[in-house]
């Protein structure tokens, strides 16, 4: 290995002689490698190894999907006896646990606080394989029906609420009106199901009511089993259980086994992989840039290579030297890139949208990421070192020495540089087009017509708990809260409902009186009071809205949205027709004969997120039934931020045990839950595209400058023969722009092939959007003109007498 060290020392000395080349090359590589390292760190820690639990890559849940719909969402909650049947009768799981999530009311000397709680089966902590930080964790014995009530606390809540006081272990606290003893504090990275508190429980086989708590089942696949190989067994079991619990299963369904990562990350996975592809393109642009710089340097060193060859150095020996020099540059770029990645990772982590990655994920530059960085460095060295290495094979030693260092390989290197610049422009066009599509998509979502007025609207969600068992109790509480809110100064209207646009209401199946249909009719139902449509800002299209008299009288009337009217009444007037909201039969407080008279049609309100199409929806009086969880709206004359805290206090003044869970303006809710994810992808993509454009500009400038230098004799002769400065400018500019336009053409073809994979990230925009592509082409053409103009202008100032004298 002595030759490697010798070549490395010689390479370092050679590179250090040209500081401009060194800084430019290192910076270009550092940007490419650093960006790649940062994005891979996020992917590694969020998608590949986010959880600290035992064999987390084998953890899957069970979902039942209705085959008659295209909805990506399925049922993942199971009745207690149904859960036990899946747990005990499957042949695919090594072990399994159950959990259901709830808000837990914490009573402390008259003050009530609300926290995220998870009721978990007793084997949860041993299943996940993490011991407690303090005390002990819950065991199956703690989940027995007659066991003393206990709970376990998260590290986050322990620090926030008790400042890390270890003496609270063994103390008793009141949770949901039950005195429970705190038995343990879990480590910092234990954040199972996003809970602050874990309460041991056991699914009761006797709990067959559809009002029972539904358990999510999480199982660890047996070693050697994959999701695909495990699916047939669980599908057979599901078919068997569908006969035991017919109300819970569609007529046609399929069973899926999503991994724990898929459950938590969801669509955000596509965003991360798209960013990884984008940063790969940026890295290729950086490699092409450095390859161009190396080719220019190789031209200067032609005489050196010719002399070394004449003294006995073989071509492979010179190629090896060039590759070692490339490795030196690559590792230098990787070292600086790691510093960029370290800083960039902090910015990336801070910019990651909430609720899109596991709370357990620890995003750092770990050993796997650093190993990947070294691999990337070696790969890039081979990529950008290949161009000058290949040119070494095409060298004519005799001709080079005879010409004083300018052999015919300079022409071939010029062609290679032109090919590289075409590639850079093409790659940059793909990056810019991707960024443009994301920008257009974000603007479509951001300024989409939601069907409501989100300005000056504050909102909170409340869970009423066990004290409000009946629909009358729940509606009375809502009326008391709304009456207090409407009396506040600056409030124009207030409403309490079970519907949260643009996130929707409750899923249901529909039937229409007098109509038959082969496929299942599905959509949503919302339960509203008489002030909902005014408060939220929903327009009436025909008929009438739900009134306070409808609410107080519990009348079975409904207002349907425009989508439902068009889909189920394409040629009829729906007013006066009867619609069945079938989900009400199985509601927590069931409604018999749930047929409703349609009294009005309102404009569509987004109810399945901003990105997806509006679903059919019917609105009924909120007093018809009770679901125990409601949304309270408050419309103000001025800024709603000032009334957010007041909204919380007014709810608590009605009942101190009912604490609002999340209170904010509707605009803030939209920013956090709808716009944050596409904005994140757009920002990062724009950064990569901008860096790529800068590198392309530098590349075009260097190639045209190189061409001017190489053609100085020819330019001098032309000017001596009468060519004007304008002629020279036009010739040099057209030569540079020719390769830019070829790159644009290649990039457009590549964009049509590659950008279609971004389809899942776009809303309201085609991957072949002509406006975006046209804007990108114009931008690249303008940048190309600018990059070509300066060296072209320098060419017009060539003095023929001086040039020809030196030639």
Integer Cα distance of 289 and 422 in angstroms? 11
Integer Cα distance of 703 and 733 in angstroms? 12
Q: Are 252 and 67 in contact (CB under 8 A)?
A: yes
Integer Cα distance of 420 and 293 in angstroms? 11
Number of Cβ within 10 Å of residue 297's Cβ equals 17
Pairing label, strands 134-135, 77-78: unpaired
Q: Are 667 and 610 in contact (CB under 8 A)?
A: no
pLDDT for the residue numbered 401: 45
pLDDT for the residue numbered 157: 96
Integer Cα distance of 349 and 347 in angstroms? 6
Q: Are 3 and 343 in contact (CB under 8 A)?
A: no
- Mapped onto helix, strand or coil, the DSSP state of residue 489 is coil
The dihedrals phi and psi of 259, each to the nearest 5 degrees, come to -75, 165
* End-to-end CA, the chain: 44
- The DSSP element (H or E) to which 581 belongs, if any, is strand 578-581
- Give how far the C-alpha of residue 620 lies from the chain's centroid of Cα atoms, to the nearest Å: 35
pLDDT for the residue numbered 483: 93
pLDDT for the residue numbered 304: 61
Please state, in angstroms and as integers, the Cα–Cα distance from residue 796 to each residue in 702, 704, 733, 786, following that order.
Answer: 17, 13, 11, 16
Taking alpha carbons only, the member of 599, 596, 604, 555 closest to residue 575 is 599
Q: Where are the domains of the chain?
A: 1-59+264-407, 63-256, 433-450+671-807, 465-657
Angle of helix 19-43 relative to helix 367-393, nearest 10 degrees? 140
* 514 DSSP assignment: T
pLDDT for the residue numbered 237: 97
pLDDT for the residue numbered 279: 92
Residue 751 burial by Cβ neighbours in a 10 Å radius (0-12, 13-18, 19+) = buried
Q: Which residue has the tokens 């995220």?
A: 116
pLDDT for the residue numbered 111: 66
* Burial readout 601-616 (b: 16 or more C-beta within 10 A, e: otherwise): bbbbbbbbebbeebbb
* Burial readout 514-540 (b: 16 or more C-beta within 10 A, e: otherwise): eeeeeebbbbbbbbbbbbbbebbbbee
Integer Cα distance of 35 and 722 in angstroms? 51
Furthest C-alpha separation in the chain = 106
**Average pLDDT per 10 consecutive residues for the chain, totaling 807 residues:** 62 73 87 92 89 94 85 85 96 96 79 85 96 96 94 96 95 91 96 94 79 88 95 96 89 92 84 91 90 74 58 62 79 91 88 83 87 86 68 51 47 71 94 94 89 92 80 91 92 91 85 83 92 95 96 96 95 95 85 95 91 91 89 91 84 82 88 86 92 90 76 71 76 86 95 91 89 94 89 74 58
Number of Cβ within 10 Å of residue 48's Cβ equals 11
Taking alpha carbons only, the member of 481, 507, 489 closest to residue 633 is 481
Give the DSSP letter string of 265-307: HTTHHHHHHHHHHHHHHHHHHHHHHHHHHHHHHHHHTHHHHHH
Q: Are 583 and 490 in contact (CB under 8 A)?
A: no
Taking alpha carbons only, the member of 645, 638, 675 closest to residue 660 is 645
Pairing label, strands 506-512, 521-528: antiparallel
Taking alpha carbons only, the member of 678, 642, 643 closest to residue 761 is 678
pLDDT for the residue numbered 802: 61
Taking the C-alpha atoms of 796, 797, 799 and 803 in order, what is their torsion angle to the nearest 10 degrees? -70
- What does the block give as tokens for 801? 């007498």
Please state, in angstroms and as integers, the Cα–Cα distance from residue 329 to each residue in 25, 27, 34, 313, 765, following that order.
Answer: 7, 10, 14, 23, 41
Integer Cα distance of 39 and 519 in angstroms? 44
């Amino acid at each position: 290995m002595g030759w490697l060290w010798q070549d490395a020392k010689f390479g370092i000395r050679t590179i250090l002689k040209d500081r401009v080349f060194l800084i430019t090359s290192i910076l270009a590589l550092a940007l490419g490698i650093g960006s790649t390292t940062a994005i891979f760190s996020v992917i590694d820690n969020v998608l590949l190894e986010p959880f600290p639990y035992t064999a987390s890559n084998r953890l899957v849940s069970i979902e039942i999907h209705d085959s008659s719909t295209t909805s990506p969402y399925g049922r993942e909650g199971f009745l207690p006896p149904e859960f036990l049947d899946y747990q005990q009768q499957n042949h695919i799981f090594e072990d399994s646990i159950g959990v259901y999530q709830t808000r837990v009311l914490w009573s402390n000397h008259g003050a009530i606080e609300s926290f995220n709680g998870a009721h978990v089966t007793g084997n949860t902590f041993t299943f996940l394989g993490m011991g407690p930080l303090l005390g002990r964790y819950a065991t199956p014995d703690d989940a027995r029906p007659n066991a003393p009530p206990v709970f376990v606390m998260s590290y986050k809540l322990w620090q926030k609420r008790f400042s890390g006081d270890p003496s609270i272990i063994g103390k008793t606290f009141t949770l949901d009106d039950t005195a429970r003893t705190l038995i343990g504090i879990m480590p910092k990275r234990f954040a199972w199901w996003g809970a602050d508190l874990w309460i041991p429980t056991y699914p009761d086989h006797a709990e067959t009511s559809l009002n029972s708590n539904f358990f999510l089942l999480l199982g660890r696949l047996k070693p050697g089993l994959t999701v695909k190989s495990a699916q047939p067994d669980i599908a057979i079991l599901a078919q068997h259980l569908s006969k035991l619990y017919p109300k819970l299963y569609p007529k046609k369904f399929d069973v899926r086994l999503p991994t724990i990562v898929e459950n938590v990350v969801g669509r955000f996975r596509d965003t991360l992989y798209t960013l990884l592809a984008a940063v790969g393109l940026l890295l290729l642009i950086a490699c092409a840039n450095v390859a161009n710089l190396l080719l220019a340097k190789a031209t200067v060193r032609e005489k050196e290579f010719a002399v070394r060859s004449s003294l006995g150095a073989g071509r492979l020996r010179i190629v090896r030297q060039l590759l070692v020099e490339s490795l030196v540059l690559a590792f230098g770029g990787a070292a600086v890139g790691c510093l960029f990645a370290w800083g960039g990772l902090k910015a990336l982590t801070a910019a990651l949208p909430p609720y899109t990655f596991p709370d357990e994920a620890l995003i750092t530059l770990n050993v796997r990421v650093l190993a990947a960085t070294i691999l990337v460095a070696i790969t890039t060295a081979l990529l950008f070192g290949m161009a000058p290495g290949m040119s070494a094979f095409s060298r004519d030693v005799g001709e080079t020495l005879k010409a004083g260092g300018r052999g015919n390989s300079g022409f071939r290197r010029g062609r290679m540089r032109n090919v590289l610049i075409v590639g850079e422009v093409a790659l940059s066009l793909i990056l810019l087009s991707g960024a443009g599509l994301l920008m257009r998509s974000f603007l479509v979502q951001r300024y989409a017509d939601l069907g409501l007025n989100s300005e000056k609207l504050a909102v909170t969600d409340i869970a009423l708990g066990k004290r409000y068992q009946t629909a009358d109790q729940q509606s009375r509480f809502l009326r008391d809260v709304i009456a207090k809110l409407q009396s506040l100064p600056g409030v124009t209207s207030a409403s309490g409902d079970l519907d949260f646009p643009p996130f929707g209401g409750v899923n249901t199946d529909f039937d229409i009186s007098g109509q038959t249909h082969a496929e299942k009719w599905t959509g949503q139902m919302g339960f509203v009071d008489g002030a909902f449509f005014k408060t939220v800002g929903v327009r009436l299209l025909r008929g009438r809205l739900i009134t306070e008299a409808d609410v107080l009288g519990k009348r079975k009337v409904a207002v349907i949205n425009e989508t439902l009217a068009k889909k189920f009444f394409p040629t009829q007037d729906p007013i006066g027709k009867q619609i069945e909201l079938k989900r009400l039969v199985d509601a927590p407080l069931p409604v018999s004969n749930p047929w409703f008279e349609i009294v009005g049609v309102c404009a569509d309100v987004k109810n399945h997120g901003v990105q997806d199409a509006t679903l059919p929806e019917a609105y009924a009086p909120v007093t018809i039934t009770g679901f125990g969880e409601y949304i309270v709206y408050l419309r103000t004359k001025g800024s709603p931020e000032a009334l957010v805290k007041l909204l919380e206090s007014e709810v608590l003044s009605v009942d101190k045990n009912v604490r609002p869970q999340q209170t904010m303006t509707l605009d803030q809710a939209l920013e956090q839950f709808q716009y944050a994810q596409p904005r994140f992808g757009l920002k990062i993509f724009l950064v990569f595209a901008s860096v790529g454009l800068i590198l392309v500009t530098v590349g075009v400038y260097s190639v045209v400058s190189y061409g001017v230098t190489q053609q100085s004799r020819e330019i001098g002769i032309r000017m001596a023969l009468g060519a004007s400065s304008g002629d020279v400018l036009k010739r040099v500019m057209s030569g540079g722009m020719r390769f830019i336009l070829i790159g644009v053409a290649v990039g457009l073809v590549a964009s049509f092939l590659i950008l279609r994979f971004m389809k899942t990230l776009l809303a309201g925009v085609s991957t072949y959007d002509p406006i975006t592509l046209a804007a990108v082409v114009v931008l690249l053409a303008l940048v190309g003109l600018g990059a070509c103009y300066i060296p072209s202008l320098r060419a017009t100032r060539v003095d023929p007498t001086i040039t020809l004298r030196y030639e």
